[in-house]
Structures are given as structure tokens and as C-alpha cells.
Chain A
Amino acid sequence: MKKLLLALALIASPALAVNPDEVLDDPALEARARDISAGLRCVVCQGENIDESNADIARDLRILVRERLVAGDSDQQVMDFIVDRYGEYVLMKPTQEGANLLLWWAGPVLFVLALAGAGLYLRRRAQSPEPGDALSAAEQARLDELMKG
């Protein structure tokens, strides 16, 4: 039984995300590879980028990124190369094209609108008289009645 468990342990053993054999000798190139990897999504994982993932496909992609870099591609060329093959799904940072503009601009636009709305409200507040001082119609009527009485 124990031997069986040990065998199981060996089969299922996890790899480190980035393995020592993948690392490039040139530290500058390796640093670029890491940055690019952090922006690419592992297609079989749930929300992990390929730099963090233990999956085999992530490893393949990491190696591919490094091959392109060694071949002399720029960062953008490497990205384009991978997006061409896997689609924009692999981009952790969505593009700023088409409908995605909605995504990118929703926050800033809402912020400006909220500030403008609040500004108008605050100006009205600042100019209106203290309502606490005035009596409501009902209170006024009651007061008149008392004064008459």
C-alpha cells in the first residue's frame, strides 16, 4: 500500500511554475520573458497567467515566449505571435479596441459624472437655507392656532 502511494505521489508530483531548465542565461532577456508571461493567460487554468501556472501548456507557452525572444522579437511581436495563435482570450490585459473601450472608460466616465452630480448637489445644499429653522406648513398651522387660542 505504501509503495503504491509513493508511486502515486511521483506520478502526480507538481512542477514549479517556472522550472530551472526554462530560465534563459541572459538576465535581461529572462526579465522580459517574465513580464510577457505575466500578461498571458494559461488557457486551461482558471484565471492564472502562464508565469504562475503549473500546467503543461503554460510551460510550452513559456518556452515559446523565450524562443521568440532569443530569435530577436520585440515584446510586442511576441505578444502578437501568441495572440494570433490562441486569440485575445490569452491576454490578461484586454485590448483597448471596440467594445473594450466600454470596459476601460466606464470607471473614469462614471467618476466624472459622479463628481459633477455631487458638485451640483453640494452647491444647492450650500445655498439653501437651514431647513431646521423653518416650520413646516402643519407646524405653522398648529402654531397659529395656539397663538390665537
Chain B
Amino acid sequence: MITELGHVALILALGVAIVQTIVPLIGAQKGWSGWMAVAAPAATLQFIFIAAAFGALTHAFVTSDFSLHVVWANSHSAKPMLYKISGVWGNHEGSMMLWVLILALFGATAAWFGGGLPPRLKARVLSVQGSIGLAFLGFIVFTSNPFLRLQVPPFDGRDLNPLLQDPGLAFHPPFLYLGYVGLSMAFSFAVAALIEGRVDAAWARWVRPWTLAAWVFLTIGIGLGSWWAYYELGWGGFWFWDPVENASFMPWLFAAALLHSAIVVEKREALKSWTILLAILAFGFSLIGTFIVRSGIITSVHSFASDPTRGVFILGILAFFTGGALILYAARASAMEARGVFSMVSRETALVVNNILLAVSSFVVFIGTVWPLAAEMFFGRKLSVGAPFFEAAFTPFMVVLAIILPVGAMLPWKRARLGRVIKPLIPAMGLAVAVALLAWTLQTGRTILGPVGFLLGTWLVAGALTDLFGRTGRGPIGQRLSRLTRLPRADWGKASAHAGLGITFMGIAGLLAWQAEDIRVAQVGETFEVAGYAITLDEVHREQGPNYISTTATMEVHKGDALIALLHPEKRVYPVQGMPTTEAAIANGFWRDIYLVIGDPQEGGGWAVRTFIKPFANWIWAGTLIMALGGLLSLSDRRYRVAAGAARAQIQGVPAE
């Protein structure tokens, strides 16, 4: 019964989306305020209906209602509750439901908090948002309906892919989707502005928080996914340049570019049409990402839930929205009058370079991702584009970005003198060189990667701190320190996002350059040494989990006489799917992780054991978190809260015009 109600709610949501798309758009064109006013309640109603449908689907998963096809195909009665719930979006139909739920949520929040928006702009934004919802609801209802019943309900389900039964991955998709779909707001604002033919500082002030929020969610989502790969896949890789990873990375890069260029629109009223284009591209790449993941067109480790026949529908959606918006852009972009004038050396220029680097690097990721497809279609060559290509073609852009970032971040608006900006940065530069030299001397005869990564990373972190401290003005140190706490949160956000990037740089470089690895057969009771750590295999036994069987080892790690960690690496088999997983045991540390994997029993006795010492591994995700935190700090800046109120006050005082 609840399932049927959910199904009805889903169809009603589709109907509401049709109204939300058409009525406010006509209203805004004709200036009928009654028609424009339909947008907000429609957005709310759409959200309520989709939430009800999603709730009904969740209910079916939680109660293990195997008469539903999706539940049967992706769940099992013995599965822990957390994974019953995360199983809702661990499959194609459910993940599309999550997609539209979040889309409707963003539309509804724009309706709820958009009181200060000019009514015409608001109506158009909500109409565009409604049309995206309409397209995806249509996709769900006509090709991927989660509420389809089985005629004869089976006794039990087929279980969720065991790799997905993990806390890190339970929350990875919702965060990614919050990011992907968050960019739809920037897109809706961009298209509304194109229809209106007008972009100003107020517009940018509305777009920026949405973009920032989307970027924060994407950052967390990508970080979670990479962290999951690190501890789950059994050899501690954290990024594979897999098509599906790239699908989330491209919008991230575009979102980063967009939130920087929106600053220029907001503060200087320049780069307007470029910012609109970025907003279209950012969401366009989110759609491309959805297409890549959902169609499975480019096979990858991740396409667990893909179905090529549905790809065509999503391709249609992608072509309609991106193509349509780009045509609109071509027709209307010239109407965007730029105002602010600036010289060649200025913050504006630095942000233009930032945008070029981020957009071009994202394009490199894009072409690398689709190249196997293009080469096969147009040149008849079956080839692969793997990590070595991306490392060679993508990394240089990041190196350049890291070199100019601290300088660019400190340049004043309009007109700047390079010398005056570089002077306060000299200590940061010195520190970076010192750290790199230290790394160079400590390592003997290894790649240049480690020292270079630490040079850039230290430069970014120290540069961010210099910038932050520079904001406190002049005077005695004590006064400046106390002023530090009163700086706007946006300043802290900027510093921490940039420093976080530096920390991630160091983590990646340190891990890749200085990892130690050992593969061997260890007898029970045997002690062996890896990079100064003495590791003992104490015992191995079998254990029964809720829905798996595990081979668990007990291993001790000693350094000198001190016991550092007692670890239990596992190997699990999930009998329902007949699939094995490795559960590495990791002793996390500030300077290094000790990463143990247990393998198969060997013929001559003993067990295959892999040991990794992974220096600076945690810095990668610590940096990611600090970046996300920076975004949140900026988002909580007083300016946005005041701006919302100020805009409202302004509305009351318009007659003067």
C-alpha cells in the first residue's frame, strides 16, 4: 500500500513539475504576477511529493519488501540496517530518485529563502529548475521506475554489491549528488539571467552561495570516495582516473572556476558572460557525469548499476539542457555589459588565469575520459587511457596553479604592483624551499616528486597564512593577532581552502614518492621487518559475520620495543553474491599509515601478506576536509546573511527609481 502511494506521489510530482516549468515562465514573460507566484508553492509541492515517494521506497527497503523488483535485486534480509537504507541509492533506480529528491530540495530552498530575489528572476529560476526536474522525473517514470512489482515475490533478495556495503560508500553518493545537483541552481540562475538579458552584482551574490555549497558537497563526496578506495580495495590506491571518478572531478574543477569568477562579477561587475558560460558548463559536466555513470558507456570499475539502454534518454536530456543553454548563450551573451575596468596586473587577471587553468585541466580530464570511445568510433582503434596519461597531461596545470595561487590571492583589485605583493611572500617562499631541500636530503636517490610536492604544498599553506595575516593591517603583533579573530569569515574560508589544497598536494606527493611495500609468505608466529617496523603474524582464524564469512588475522606492529598497533586485516566472502572483498587493517598516524592485507593460505604453509608503509596518507583527506571547511566558512560569512536582508529592504524602497 505504502509503495503504491509512493508511486502515485512520484507521478503527481511529475505533474507539478510540468506546471512549475510552464506557468511561471509565461508569467515572467507577460508580467503576470499571479502566474509568477505559482513557482514557489509548486517547488515546495514538488519537493513534498518526491520526498513522499522516496520515503515509500526507503520503507520498502527497510522492511525488505521483496515484491519490489529493485529491493529484490539489491537487498537481502540479513543485511545490516545501515546498508538496507544506503541500498536505496546503491542502485540505478534509487540513485535517480535521490537525484530528483535533491534537485527538488534545492528548488524548494530557493523558493523558501529567495524572498529577496526580484520576482521575475525568481519565477524564471524556479521554472528552469522545474524543467530539469521534469526531465529527470520523466526519465524515472518511463525508463527506471523503482516501484515496479514482481508477480511472484521471491523469498529473499540478491543482496547489495559487497564493495558497496561500507560506511564510506554509504554516504559517498548523497554528497556527490548534492554537489552535482547543487550546480543545477547555478545553471538555473544563468539561464534565467540569459532570458532576462541582465547580470549584476546582486545576481552573482545569489549564485555564489549555491556554487560554493555545491563545491563543498562535491569536495566531501570525492574525498569520501577516494578514502573508501584507499582502505577497501586492498592496495591503498586513492585515485585511479577511472571514468566515474573523472565524472565527479570535472564538475568539481568547473565549480571551483565558477565560484572564483563569480567573485569578479560580484565585486567588480566584470567577466559576466564568462561566468554565465562557466555556470552552464559546470552543470553540463554534471550531466555528462550522470550520463557516463548511468549509461555505463565507458566501462569502469564503478558501473555496478549501469544500463546502456537508458543512456540514450540521459543523452537527450544532456543535449537539450546544455545545447539549449549554449544556444541561448550565443544569442544573448553580448547583452551582458561589462563594467569594471582593470589593468593587466590585478586580482581580476589572476582570477582569469585561475579560470583558464581550471577549465583547461578539466577539459584534459574530459578528453582523456572519452578518448577510448572517440578513438574506437572515429579511428577504429581500441585503446586505453589510464592513469599515466592523466598524470602526465593534467599535473602540469596543477603545478602552475599552485605556483601562481599565493601571489594571485594577494593581488589587489583593479591595479597592482607585483613587487609589492611578492615582498611579504618572501618568508613563505623561503620556508617552501627549505622544506623541499630537507625532503631532498632525507630521501636518497628517489624521484623528484616528493620534494616538488612539498615545495608547492608548503608554498600554498604558508602563502595562505601570509595572506590571512596580511589582512590584519599594520601595528604591533599583539593587536594584529587580536584582529585576526575579527576578520570576516570569508577571509578565513579563503585561507583555509587554499591551505587545504596545499596539504592535499603534500599528502599525494609524499604517499606516491615515499611509500614502502613488502609482499611475502609469513608463517604464523613469524616476525619480519618493513621500513623499520617489526611485524608479527600472531594467528589466523575464521569468523562468521552477519552476511559474510571472514578470514581474520591478528598482527602486531612493533617499533623498537614499543607495540605500535595490534591489527586485524580481514578477507571476506559474501556468499549471496559469491564475491570476496579485502578489509585492510590500517594503523593511522600523522606521519604515516601502516597498511596490512592478508591474502591466501599458501601450499607450503603460511599466508600471503602485503605490508605497506604509506607516509602522509592522511594528509590527502585532511587537506580535502580543510578545503571543504574553508567553503563552509565562506558560506557562513556575514555578508550573505546581511545581503539577504539588505535586498529585502531595497525592495521596499524602489519607488525612487
Contact = CB atoms under 8 A, between A and B. Distances in A.
Interface of A: 2, 5-6, 8-9, 12-21, 23, 38-39, 41, 45-49, 52, 87-95, 98-100, 103-104, 106-107, 110-111, 114-115, 118, 121-123, 125-126, 128-132
Contact of A126 (B303, B342, B360): B342
Interface string B387-411: 1110011100100000000000000
Nearest to B357: A111
Contacts of A20: 519-521, 602, 608
Interface extent on B, as a size class? 35 or more
Contacts of B233: 52
A135 B597 CA distance: 72
B384 A41 contact: yes
A47 B360 contact: no
Contact of A8 (B240, B382, B383, B573): B573
Interface of B: 233-235, 237, 240, 242-243, 270, 299-301, 303, 337-344, 349, 352-353, 356-357, 359-361, 363-364, 367-368, 371, 375, 378-379, 381-389, 392-394, 397, 519-521, 542, 544, 549, 551, 571, 573, 575, 578-582, 597, 599-600, 602, 608, 610
A122 B379 contact: no
A134 to B, nearest CB: 11
Given A47-B386, A93-B389, 6 more contacts: A5-B549, A19-B599, A21-B602, A107-B363, A126-B341, A126-B344
Nearest to A92: B386
14 contacts: A5-B575, A9-B542, A9-B575, A12-B578, A38-B388, A49-B387, A88-B384, A90-B384, A99-B379, A107-B367, A107-B393, A114-B360, A125-B342, A132-B340
Name, among B356, B386, B392, the residue most crowded by chain A CB atoms within 10 Å (CB to CB). B386
Nearest to A16: B599
A88 B381 contact: yes
In the complex, the 4 A-B pairs of residues with the closest C-beta atoms, listed nearest first:
A92-B386, A93-B388, A16-B599, A107-B364
Contacts of A48: 240, 301
Contacts of A39: 386, 388
A13 B363 contact: no
Nearest to A51: B235
Given A52-B237, A128-B341, A19 B608 contact: yes
Contacts of B602: 20-21
Contacts of B359: 114
B301 A46 contact: yes
A12 B579 contact: yes
A106 B367 contact: yes
Contacts of B300: 46-47
A121 B349 CA distance: 10
A120 to B, nearest CB: 11
B580 A93 contact: no
A94 B383 contact: yes
Contact of B580 (A5, A13, A41): A13
A94 B385 contact: yes
Chain B interface, >50% SS class: mixed
A38 B349 CA distance: 40
Name, among B300, B342, B600, the residue most crowded by chain A CB atoms within 10 Å (CB to CB). B600
Contacts of B520: 20, 23
A46 B300 CA distance: 5
A118 B353 contact: yes
A4 B342 CA distance: 75
A122 B301 contact: no
A92 B352 contact: no
B385 A103 contact: yes
A14 B301 contact: no
A147 B600 CA distance: 93
A91 B384 contact: yes
Nearest to B582: A14
Contacts of A98: 379, 381
A2 B343 CA distance: 76
Given A9-B575, A47-B242, A110-B360, A89 B341 contact: no
Contacts of B353: 115, 118
B573 A13 contact: yes
B387 A18 contact: no
B386 A93 contact: yes
Contact of A89 (B363, B367, B383): B383
Contacts of A87: 382
Contact of A88 (B344, B382, B388): B382
Name, among B339, B363, B381, B382, the residue most crowded by chain A CB atoms within 10 Å (CB to CB). B381
